[in-house]
Structure 1
């Protein structure tokens, strides 16, 4: 069942948040594996929350990381190779294990409700090992402005077509994917977060902001909060 406010169009299977499985098979990986590799110890255990079809998973496995890939879409997980897979929503995940690195990419922290964003970060906090870290990807500054914005990828074109306010602090975003043989759209909800918003969410989840990993401030490292004396 697709969530309210989320939808997708085009051929093939879709996830509950409107993502087309085939799109994520086709999309090339960007700089994410490099950012993660530089922030993680060699051979670290990584819990990847919202792995999709393995776009980031596969390069991490190839670089020697022990990856556990979690996704709520069985169709997405069926595409993942070389990693342990867990079919679950992030919010409901309770593995009873701790990992050197917990990874939450794809702007998932910009959930439309504060409660959902806190649930996502709480899942990160309960699975990160003492001395480990949580790596978060967030939207860049002005991400919702100057639209439409076009990016060409291998064999196709990605267009952030529109971003419309649909509630206090919540926006409905439409992204279009065009390839020579097929087209898809994805509509999803996003709640832009200020640095203060993110810091408060991290604290509420039992995490502390440790710094930015990229110059565009889209990748954040957080640490488990020190235990109270």
Structure 2
């Protein structure tokens, strides 16, 4: 396990505390529609942190080519139809570039600043000069609106139980996913980023915001510059 990360519940748990079976159950949501509206048709997407293919498979169905990267072999076993690469995002260097690099799942909020920098450097290293990077950010009240819960229409409840400061600007966040037949928890480190801090982090990697794709600012399109 990565330091500060933990997961509980049935089945395999990845180094960052994610439960593989849980992610096979989670619904897709609106993310593929947001991505489709922001990138060229039939683009080749480098998906960083693909997991079990929750977004990979809808993107393939929409006509995109996808290279799926994840550090967990257990996650990648579930990915079908995409080129699969097992690697940590921080260490990835494929020697090629892509139309689109996708960094979802709030990964840009990594608790360790060095990890965040490495994630964004990987994005910048792999995006084509005329390509774009799509990044998913946390909501502004993510660390303050706790505890909170949401009942998903598909039949489970997700709770953010706590977000406790642990020093150096990061927090230990504890989440719980309750299904009728199983419960999973995940504890992970997350660093809040204001809009200005987020844009400064992009600039360190040679990236800049092209536009915010959603009114809440959670999805962002960035380009080189």
Q: Using structure 1 for the length normalisation, give the TM-score.
A: 0.96
> 1:36: Cα distance to partner?
0.3
1:175 corresponding residue in structure 2: 175
2:120 corresponding residue in structure 1: 121
Structure-to-structure mapping, 1:74-153, within 5 angstroms: 74-153=73-152
1:66 corresponding residue in structure 2: 65
Deviations 1:88-120 (A, max 9, x none): 000110111110000000000001122111100
Deviations 1:116-159 (A, max 9, x none): 11100000001001110000000011111222211122121111
Larger displacement relative to structure 2 (144-153 or 186-195): 144-153
> 1:198: Cα distance to partner?
1.1
Residue 11 (structure 1) aligned with residue 15 (structure 2): no
1:185 corresponding residue in structure 2: 185
> What CA distance in whole angstroms lies between the structure 2 residues aligned with 1:91 and 1:56?
21
Deviations 1:55-92 (A, max 9, x none): 11111000000000000000000011111110000011
RMSD of aligned alpha carbons: 0.8
1:208 corresponding residue in structure 2: 208
The 3-state SS of whatever aligns with 2:21 is: helix
> 1:168: Cα distance to partner?
2.6
> What CA distance in whole angstroms lies between the structure 2 residues aligned with 1:151 and 1:76?
25
Q: Using structure 2 for the length normalisation, give the TM-score.
A: 0.98
Larger displacement relative to structure 2 (25-34 or 153-162): 153-162
The 3-state SS of whatever aligns with 1:185 is: strand
- The runs of 4+ residues in structure 1 deviating greater than 6 Å are none
> Which ranges of structure 1 fall in alignment gaps of 5 or more residues?
none
